[in-house]
Amino acid sequence: LLLAVAAATLAFATFLVVPAFAQSPIIIKFSHVVANDTPKGKGALKFKELAEKYTDGKVKIEVYPNSSLYKDKEEIEALQLGSVQMLAPSTAKFAPLGIKEFEALDLPWLFKDDATYSSAMKGTVGKWLFQKLEAKGITGLAYWDNGFHMVSSNRPLMKPEDFKGLKFRISGSKIADQYFRLLGSIPQIMAFSEVYQALQTGVVDGCENTASNYLTQKFYEVQKDITVSYHAHLQYAVIVNSKFWSGLPPDIRAQLEKAMVEATDYTNLIAHQENEDALAEIKKTGKTTLHYLSDADRKAWQEAMQPTYKWAKGRVGQEVLDLVAKELD
């Protein structure tokens, strides 16, 4: 009997000191809005694979793609409330948090190519932007690449005048709002999950996005003309709830950080090719016409959108514009 009492006491004592996280596996819900078969979708699955492997099953990553758990705005609220632990929103979507500085990355023709973009984001501006999130209880872990935006409607968009009077869906950034307005069109913020139907029913006339999103959301089915303009860049911030992240046992957090570094390298490596392949697929469907800008056309777009840069000072502030410019020197 004495032995049994001693064993029970020990078991009870052990129970008392067991931290909440020891009730394994630790579940990380990773919600995002795009398809699995995109750079971000594949990155999330790669992170799941590596994180579960490195933590030896102590952590389970549940990936919810395609807005199946939350739509754009709700997912950020859910992260702050702790209903979801990890997200990878486009950096164009932080204004509802009161953080506008990320929108500097949406300036038209800011990055001349993928290499310029990735070297810029490895510099100080990336870290500086992540500090802005901390005050909101959010920790930035990595930047994931997608690629450059194309733009579409049911008529060819070749000259700035072609945009006049058309309604375009934008994802959230006021910088995009501004450059569409400068072209004489009417931008409208809308959740990503609602875009296909809005294009189909004519709630909006057009949109901008990367080839992988056009393909996997089937936007090409409801847009007769796509201009491969590559006028602005789409990138993601992989973010976590700070309290959750800092509360993880340090060894587990280190394993997850390693998984994130590798998943980030993987995502950023495949992004360009994924979009090239998606563009070829879209072309093959024959359901839309792809248009390419001549040098003169591009110059006309750039001139029409140029005032966005001056306007941006009032929106995002000079500090972030200087930090971005420094990385582009």
Please report, as ranges, the residues that interact with ligand LMR according to CB under 6 A. Answer: 33-34, 90, 146, 171, 192, 209, 213, 234
Distance CA 61, CA 297 (A): 46
Minimum CB distance to ligand LMR, residue 213 (Å): 5
Residue with tokens 């733009």: 151
Q: Which CB atom, from 52 or from 72, has the smaller least distance to ligand LMR? A: 72
Minimum CB distance to ligand LMR, residue 75 (Å): 10
Question: What are the C-alpha distances in Å from 315 to residues 2, 62, 146, 169, 308?
Answer: 73, 36, 24, 20, 10
Minimum CB distance to ligand LMR, residue 26 (Å): 26
Task: Check whether the bond before 25 is cis (ω within 30° of 0).
Answer: yes
Minimum CB distance to ligand LMR, residue 299 (Å): 26
Tell me the two tokens of residue 36: 């699995």
Closest residue to ligand LMR using C-beta atoms = 90
The answer to whether the CB of 158 falls within 8 A of the CB of 264 is no
Minimum CB distance to ligand LMR, residue 35 (Å): 9
Q: Which CB atom, from 33 or from 222, has the smaller least distance to ligand LMR? A: 33
Minimum CB distance to ligand LMR, residue 106 (Å): 11
Q: If DSSP codes are grouped into helix, strand and coil, which group holds residue 235?
A: strand
Q: Please, what's the b/e burial string for 153-185 (b: 16 or more CB within 10 A of its CB; e: otherwise)? A: beeebbebebbeebbbbbbbbbbbbbbbbbbeb
Minimum CB distance to ligand LMR, residue 207 (Å): 8
Q: Which CB atom, from 138 or from 248, has the smaller least distance to ligand LMR? A: 138
Tell me the two tokens of residue 140: 């930035």
Distance CA 228, CA 276 (A): 11
Minimum CB distance to ligand LMR, residue 147 (Å): 10
Q: Which CB atom, from 84 or from 248, has the smaller least distance to ligand LMR? A: 84
Q: Which element (helix H / strand E) includes 273?
A: helix 250-285
Distance CA 31, CA 76 (A): 10
Q: Which CB atom, from 190 or from 324, has the smaller least distance to ligand LMR? A: 190
Minimum CB distance to ligand LMR, residue 175 (Å): 14
Q: Which CB atom, from 26 or from 78, has the smaller least distance to ligand LMR? A: 78
Q: Which CB atom, from 255 or from 288, has the smaller least distance to ligand LMR? A: 288
Distance CA 256, CA 318 (A): 35
Spatial neighbors of 164 by CB under 8 A, at least 6 apart, are: 183, 184, 185
Spatial neighbors of 278 by CB under 8 A, at least 6 apart, are: 210, 211, 212, 214, 215, 216
Residue with tokens 């129970």: 15
Q: Give me the residues paired with residue 329 across strands.
A: none
Query: DSSP code of 204?
Result: S
Q: Which CB atom, from 54 or from 221, has the smaller least distance to ligand LMR? A: 221
Q: Which CB atom, from 120 or from 198, has the smaller least distance to ligand LMR? A: 198
